[in-house]
Amino acid sequence: MPELPEVETARRSLEPHVVGRRIIRVRVRERRLRWPVTPGLAARLSGLTVHAIRRRGKYLLFELDRGHLLVHYGMTGSLSVCPPTRRAGKHDHVDLALDDGTTLRFHDPRRFGAVLWVAELGRHPLLASIGLEPLEGGFTAQALARLARGKRQPVKSFLMDGRMVAGVGNIYASEALFAAGVRPSTAAGRLSRARWERVARSIVDTLSQAIEAGGSTLRDFVGGEGKPGSYQERHAVYGREGQPCPKCGGPIGHTRQSGRSTFYCPRCQR
């Protein structure tokens, strides 16, 4: 469950269970994730209290007494709060036992996710070059246009580039561009100011509405406390090739951009 709305939904649902809890024990069953789990994670985390859970793009950041625990879901990662009796399954790679008897468990079949301890967030290379945060101040048409200046890259790829915009992935790039009426293949550097205004607003609206709906739940089920989201029912174009466009009724088109599926309405998006 990995784009911004899904990560934000996870953050909100974990917060009441995890903030204020002390980490009692750590168990790493599989350290081969996107990057190897920080060596000595158990010694690093044991005894520390979680003071807050923040999000930057698609990263979850657990603020501790010392440093942060950084979690990324990759394509198939998830966290759940389990009762102590729950047996670990095949892809349950990391457990944090908390002082109320529950376990915060990281599950990730494809192992594209990450679990890292970070001393100083500001200096960490994974966070240093992250782009504009769509739901915070500064996410404006002007800022986007400035970043895109001179780029011939398709606007959809631009929006999915984490160094430009944080947290927008394949689903929400397609959905936001549909809402804005902009063709995904348009060169980012050639969008007019008026179109950037529409794109910026569409990104904010799309992400906000998705968060309200609890995100999109596709092929995976959300374990633990997390309930599945329902925003997939409101996808206008994503995964809907050949089905009628909600605006004009024409068939939704499908194409491939730098290896990723793109869905759009050829009539409504110019």
Partner DNA sequence: AGAACCACCTGGCAGC
Partner DNA sequence: TGCTGCCAGGTGGTTC
Residue 177 binds to DNA (criterion: CB under 7 A): no
Residue 49 binds to DNA (criterion: CB under 7 A): no
Q: Of the residues 58, 183, 198, 240, which is catalytic?
A: 58
Residue 184 binds to DNA (criterion: CB under 7 A): no
The helix/strand count (H/E) of the chain reads as 7, 10
Q: How far is the CB of 146 from DNA (least distance, A)?
A: 13
Residue 109 binds to DNA (criterion: CB under 7 A): yes
| Interacting span for DNA (CB under 7 A) from 37-45, 46-54, 95-103, 167-175 | 167-175
Q: Of the residues 12, 25, 86, 260, which is catalytic?
A: 260
Residue 215 binds to DNA (criterion: CB under 7 A): yes
| Interacting span for DNA (CB under 7 A) from 14-22, 80-88, 196-204, 256-264 | 256-264
Q: Which long-range contacts (CB under 8 A, 24 or more apart) does 89-95 make?
A: 91/30, 92/29, 93/28, 93/29, 93/30, 93/31, 93/33, 93/37, 94/26, 94/27, 94/28, 94/29, 94/30, 94/37, 94/41, 95/25, 95/26, 95/27, 95/29
Amino acid at 56: R
| Interacting span for DNA (CB under 7 A) from 41-49, 60-68, 79-87, 154-162 | 154-162
Choose, by CB under 7 A, the member of 122, 137, 138, 150 that binds DNA: 150
Per DSSP, which regions of the chain are E strands?
Answer: 23-28, 50-56, 59-64, 68-72, 78-82, 92-98, 103-107, 114-118, 253-257, 260-264
Q: Of the residues 2, 5, 134, 184, which is catalytic?
A: 2
CB neighbour class for 149 (10 Å; exposed up to 12, middle 13-18, buried from 19): exposed
Which chain residues interact with DNA by CB under 7 A?
Answer: 1-3, 6, 32, 34, 57-58, 72, 74-75, 90-91, 109-112, 126, 150-154, 157, 160, 162-163, 169-171, 188-189, 215-220, 258-261
Which residues participate in catalysis according to the annotation? 2-3, 58, 260
